[in-house]
Amino acid sequence: MAEVGSGRGGAARRGFGELGTPRTPRGAGPDEAPPPQGEVSEGCRLPVLRRNQDNEDEWPLAEILSVKDISGRKLFYVHYIDFNKRLDEWVTHDRLDLKRVQVPRKEAKTPTKNGLPGSRPGSPDRDPNGSARRAVAAQPGRKRKSACLGTDEDSQDSSDGAPSAPRMTGSLVSDRSHDDIVTRMKNIECIELGRHRLKPWYFSPYPQELTGLPVLYLCEFCLKYGHSLRCLQRHLTKCDLRHPPGNEIYRKGTISFFEIDGRKNKSYSQNLCLLAKCFLDHKTLYYDTDPFLFYVMTEYDCKGFHIVGYFSKEKESTEDYNVACILTLPPYQRRGYGKLLIEFSYELSKVEGKTGTPEKPLSDLGLLSYRSYWSQTILEILMGLKAEAGERPQITINEISEITSIKKEDVISTLQYLNLINYYKGQYILTLSEDIVEGHERAMLKRLLRIDAKCLHFTPKDWSKRGKW
């Protein structure tokens, strides 16, 4: 347990500690004595000017995570409290409201577990549901341990045999309380991928020497990274891939899906994971890609099969996960591709004859997408049910689950979310209100991209018989 943080993380934290400034736990009131101007440092909280999507100026509270000096000009890496990390950014001095700085208190009465004042409360007591799920997901290991980690908290990990290593199943970490400052900050400014320039949302462990570059150049097809356009040019003379290096298992129109084995095609899988990590906060790249399959969705044009999004899937999941990580690349977002990916993942589960659920935790976008998919899928079924012989149509939750391959719990949560399930005259009933029906019909009109099961050429493999992964 006495895991010492890596040099980088440790140094960062030590530096943080040496500041000598009192830390303020989350939610603590502002300190009475504001520090003099110019002494804004890591850990301070202050309103930072931010322009919202409606182009309005806001001054949300933000936390300074890092300060850097570029040619005499100070830049502050800020995290907006109660906003997603993907919106964190480097800001100049003039966007800080220095009059309202909250300096972190030195010794908080209830010291936070992670020792990091941040958006994540270290408090272990969460609501019962959340903590229960967390316990399952986080179980034997954590992504990282820090030097200031309390031994009591992770004492159960010692039974694992690899106390400092995270669990080896799954692709996501749910407990980020031990993230160090490095992983909390975006490290890639911009990625050029084919026609697109992507602004990463999160940290990704690309080779460190590539992190300071204004643009990281990726080969659109093999996802290899280079530090300059010239490198990419040179690479393209040698790379003849025009599609993901896997087997095409689905094609309808311009949409294709490729299956890539994380063990057989390591370099592509790793490159894909590095790219995906830029947009998936909870994704972990701690371990190799061997136990995963990657399903890459592409859109074809005359240049080749362009990656749109992907999802990964454990070859063998002990927890009914049919998706590990799922991502629609930002340029393709909000165009229905996410739902297409989700639909495809359930189609695979249907072929396998299993129900499945995405690995937790879900991101905000993930939750919205899944809820939307579940809602539409379940409503589709419910509305398709016809009354038989004057009888009111009825269906069990298990039946819904079987038809859709959506795990039972997800069906229930969706029914709850849609407020369809009600208790009436001693039994549960499903009620489809008018606005639900209307809303669904409208949504389905917009949902043009659908998976056609006939176009899927997929034979599930029994990975348990193939040795390990």
Partner 1 sequence: MSKLSFRARALDAAKPLPIYRGKDMPDLNDCVSINRAVPQMPTGMEKEEESEHHLQRAISAQQVFREKKESMVIPVPEAESNVNYYNRLYKGEFKQPKQFIHIQPFNLDNEQPDYDMDSEDETLLNRLNRKMEIKPLQFEIMVDRLEKASSSQLVTLQEAKLLLNEDDYLIKAVYDYWVRKRKNCRGPSLIPQIKQEKRDGSTNNDPYVAFRRRTEKMQTRKNRKNDEASYEKMLKLRREFSRAITILEMIKRREKTKRELLHLTLEVVEKRYHLGDYGGEILNEVKLNRPEKDMGTTPSSLHNGNHHKVQECKVKHPHHSSLKEEVADVVRQKKKYLKKPKLECVVTPQPLAEPLPVLSKSDIKQYDFHSSDEDEFPQVPSPMSEAEEENDPDGPCAFRRRAGCQYYAPRLDQTNPSYEGPELAELDKLRFRHCLTTLTIPRRCIGFARRRIGRGGRVIMDRISTEHDPVLRQIDPEMLNTFSSSSQTLDFSSNFSRTNASNKHCENRLSLPEILSNIRSCRLQCFQPRLLNLQDSDSEECTSRKAGQTVNNKRVSAASVALLSTSKNGISVTGGITEEQFQTHQQQLVQMQRQQLAQLQQKQQSQHSSQQPHLKAQGSSTSDCMSKTLDSASAHFAASAVVSAPAPGRSEGTKEQNTSHNNINGVVQPSGTSRTLYSTNMALSSSPGISTVQLVRTVGHSTTNHLIPALCTSSPQPLPMNNSCLPSAVHLNNVSVVSPVNVHINTRTSAPSPTALKLATVAASMDRVPKVTPSSAISSIARENHEPERLGLNGIAETTVAMEVT
The dihedral over CA atoms of 222, 225, 226, 227, expressed in degrees to the nearest 10, equals 160
Considering the complex, state which of residue 53 and residue 71 has its C-beta at the smaller distance from partner 1. Answer: 53
**Contact 127/142 with Cβ under 8 angstroms?**
no
Q: Which of the residues 3, 314, 343, 359 is marked catalytic?
A: 359
Confirm or reject binding of residue 302 to partner 1 (CB under 8 A): yes
Q: Give the H/E segment covering residue 298.
A: strand 292-301
Which residues are CB-contacts of 186 (< 8 A; sequence separation ≥ 6)? 88, 200, 201, 202, 203
32, 56, 434, 462: residue in contact with partner 1 (rule CB under 8 A): 434
Confirm or reject binding of residue 330 to partner 1 (CB under 8 A): yes
245, 252, 299, 380: residue in contact with partner 1 (rule CB under 8 A): 245
CA distances for 76 relative to 92, 202, 204, 404, angstroms? 6, 16, 20, 48
Here the tokens at position 218 are 């990726």
Which positions from 117 through 136 interact with partner 1, judged by CB under 8 A? 119-121, 126-127, 129-130, 133
Confirm or reject binding of residue 334 to partner 1 (CB under 8 A): yes
235, 252, 354, 447: residue in contact with partner 1 (rule CB under 8 A): 235
Measured distance CA(400)–CA(91) in Å, rounded: 49
Confirm or reject binding of residue 444 to partner 1 (CB under 8 A): no
Measured distance CA(83)–CA(60) in Å, rounded: 9
22, 34, 35, 331: residue in contact with partner 1 (rule CB under 8 A): 331
Which positions from 450 through 469 interact with partner 1, judged by CB under 8 A? 457, 468
Here the tokens at position 316 are 């063998």
Looking at the DSSP bridge assignments, the partners of residue 45 are: 63, 102
Here the tokens at position 69 are 């000096």
Cis preceding-peptide flag for 361 (omega within 30 of 0): yes
Q: Give the H/E segment covering residue 307.
A: strand 304-314
Considering the complex, state which of residue 43 and residue 366 has its C-beta at the smaller distance from partner 1. Answer: 366
Confirm or reject binding of residue 56 to partner 1 (CB under 8 A): no
**Contact 223/242 with Cβ under 8 angstroms?**
no
Looking at the DSSP bridge assignments, the partners of residue 91 are: 76
Confirm or reject binding of residue 385 to partner 1 (CB under 8 A): yes
Which positions from 341 through 380 interact with partner 1, judged by CB under 8 A? 358, 360-368, 370
Considering the complex, state which of residue 18 and residue 54 has its C-beta at the smaller distance from partner 1. Answer: 54
Which positions from 144 through 183 interact with partner 1, judged by CB under 8 A? 144-146, 159, 161-162, 164-165, 168-169, 174, 176, 180, 182-183
Confirm or reject binding of residue 445 to partner 1 (CB under 8 A): no
Considering the complex, state which of residue 352 and residue 402 has its C-beta at the smaller distance from partner 1. Answer: 402
Measured distance CA(202)–CA(215) in Å, rounded: 15
22, 28, 75, 196: residue in contact with partner 1 (rule CB under 8 A): 196
Binding residue count for partner 1, defined by CB under 8 A: 161
Question: 324-350: b or e for each residue (b if 16 or more CB lie within 10 Å)?
Answer: bbbbbbbebbeebbbbbbbbbbbbbbb
433, 453, 460, 466: residue in contact with partner 1 (rule CB under 8 A): 433
Handedness of CA 183, 86, 267, 222 (dihedral sign): negative
Considering the complex, state which of residue 81 and residue 108 has its C-beta at the smaller distance from partner 1. Answer: 81
Q: How far is the CB of 334 from partner 1 (least distance, A)?
A: 7
Mark the segment that binds partner 1 (CB under 8 A) among 65-73, 98-106, 140-148, 342-350.
Answer: 140-148
Confirm or reject binding of residue 15 to partner 1 (CB under 8 A): no
359 labelled catalytic = yes
Which amino acid type is present at position 1? Answer: M
Considering the complex, state which of residue 104 and residue 118 has its C-beta at the smaller distance from partner 1. Answer: 118
Here the tokens at position 321 are 């996960």
Which positions from 72 through 101 interact with partner 1, judged by CB under 8 A? 82-84, 86-87
Q: How far is the CB of 18 from partner 1 (least distance, A)?
A: 20
- Please identify every residue annotated as catalytic: 359
